[in-house]
C-alpha cells in the first residue's frame, strides 16, 4: 500500500476536528452562560470558620508572602461548667486576607491547628479595585457556606477523611 502523503493526512485531521465540532459540539465552554464545576479540592478562595479561630497567628507567620493580617485581644469567656471560673480566651478582632497578594499555596489552611480555615472552590470574586480584594473576616466567614464536604479517598489510603464544621 502506498504511503499517504503527510499533507493529505494533516488535512484529514483538521477536517475530522471540524466535523466533530459541528456534530458533537466544541470542547470549550461559553463561560458566563455555562460554567464548569471545579474539583472539590480546587484552591479557589479561603473560608474562615471564626468560632474555631484562636488568633494564634500561625497562619499569618507561615504565609510565604505575609498576606494575612490578624489582630486579637484577650477576653474572659463564661465558664464551661456552672460555678467555675471564667476562662481567658483570645478574641479575634481582625482577620483579613489580601487576595491581591495571596499565592493560593494553601499553607495557612494546612498549618491551622484548630481547623478554622478551609478551601472553597469558588473563583468568581474579582474586583475592579485592587483594594477590594482584601477580604475581612465577615466576607471570609460568608465563604464558609460554599465549602464542600471532603471527598473520600482512593482505596489503599490510610488518611482519615476530615469533616467540615457547619
Partner 1 sequence: MTDLVDRRQMAYIAAQAADARVNVELETEGMTLNIGPQHPATHGTLRIVIQLDGEEVVAADPVMGYMHRGYEKLAEVRTYPQVTTLVNRIDWLGSFANEVPFILAAEQLMDIEAPPRAQWIRTILFELGRIANVTLFLGDMGVQLGAISPVFYAFRDREFILNQIEAATGGRFHPNFDRIGGVKDDLPAGWIADTKVALKAIQRFCDEMEDLIVGNEIFAARTRGIGVIPADIGLSYGLSGANIRASGVDWDLRRDAPCGLVYDQVDWKVWTHPDGDSFARYWVRLQEVREACGIVEQLLDGLPAGPIMAKVPRIIKVPEGEAYVETENPLGIMGYYVISQGGLEPFRVKIRSASFSNISIAPWLLKGTFVPDVITILASLYFILGDVDR
Partner 2 sequence: MLATVAAEFAYWQTSIFKLLMAFVAVLIPAGGTVYLYLFKMVSFLQSRLGPMEAGPYGSLQLVAEVGKWAQKEDVVPSRADAFVFKAAPYVVLISTFLLVIVVPFGPDAVFADFDTGIFLALAVSSISVIGILMAGWASASKYSLLGGLRAAGQLIAYELPMVLAVVGVVIQAGTLNMQGIVEAQTTGEIFGWGALGHPFILTQFVGFFIFLIAVQAELAQTPFDMPVAESELVTGYMTEYSGFRFLLFFIGEFATANIFAFLASVLFLGGWSVPPFIMDAVPGLAPQVDGLAAALGGTTGVAEASFSPWFNLIGPVVMAVKMLALTFIVYWVRFTYPRFREDQLQSFAWKVLIPISLVNIAVTGVLKVVF
**Which residues, 97 to 156, sit near partner 1 by CB under 8 A?**
103-107, 110, 119, 151-156
User: Could you give the C-alpha distances from 74 to 45, 90, 120, in angstroms and in order?
Assistant: 29, 5, 30
Decide if residue 35 touches partner 2 (CB under 8 A): no
Single residue of 20, 50, 57, 64 touching partner 1 by CB under 8 A: 64
Question: Which of partner 2, partner 1, none does residue 1 bind (CB under 5 to 8 Å by kind)?
Answer: none
Which stretch in 11-19, 75-83, 84-92, 117-125 sits in contact with partner 2 by CB under 8 A? 11-19
Decide if residue 40 touches partner 1 (CB under 8 A): yes
Decide if residue 123 touches partner 2 (CB under 8 A): no
DSSP structure class, residue 148: P
Dist CA 97 CA 134 (whole Å): 6
- Specify the 3-state DSSP secondary structure of 109: helix
Instruction: Give the residue with the Cβ less far from partner 1, 145 or 149.
Output: 149
- Specify the 3-state DSSP secondary structure of 121: coil
Grid cell digits, residue 148: 464542600
Single residue of 1, 22, 131, 159 touching partner 1 by CB under 8 A: 159
Nearest Cα to 54, choosing from 87, 92, 80?
92
Interacting residues toward partner 2 by CB under 8 A: 7, 10-11, 13-15, 17-18, 20-22, 26-28, 30
Amino acid at each position: 500500500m502506498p504511503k499517504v502523503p503527510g499533507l493529505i493526512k494533516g488535512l484529514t485531521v483538521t477536517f475530522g476536528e471540524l466535523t466533530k465540532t459541528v456534530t458533537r459540539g466544541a470542547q470549550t465552554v461559553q463561560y458566563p452562560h455555562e460554567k464548569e464545576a471545579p474539583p472539590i479540592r480546587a484552591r479557589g478562595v479561603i473560608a474562615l470558620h471564626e468560632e474555631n479561630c484562636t488568633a494564634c497567628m500561625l497562619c499569618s507567620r507561615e504565609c510565604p508572602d505575609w498576606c494575612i493580617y490578624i489582630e486579637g485581644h484577650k477576653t474572659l469567656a463564661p465558664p464551661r461548667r456552672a460555678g467555675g471560673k471564667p476562662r481567658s480566651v483570645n478574641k479575634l478582632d481582625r482577620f483579613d486576607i489580601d487576595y491581591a497578594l495571596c499565592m493560593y499555596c494553601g499553607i495557612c489552611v494546612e498549618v491551622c491547628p484548630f481547623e478554622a480555615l478551609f478551601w472553597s472552590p469558588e473563583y468568581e470574586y474579582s474586583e475592579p479595585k485592587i483594594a477590594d480584594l482584601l477580604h475581612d473576616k465577615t466576607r471570609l466567614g460568608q465563604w464558609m457556606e460554599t465549602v464542600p464536604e471532603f471527598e473520600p479517598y482512593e482505596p489503599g489510603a490510610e488518611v482519615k477523611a476530615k469533616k467540615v464544621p457547619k
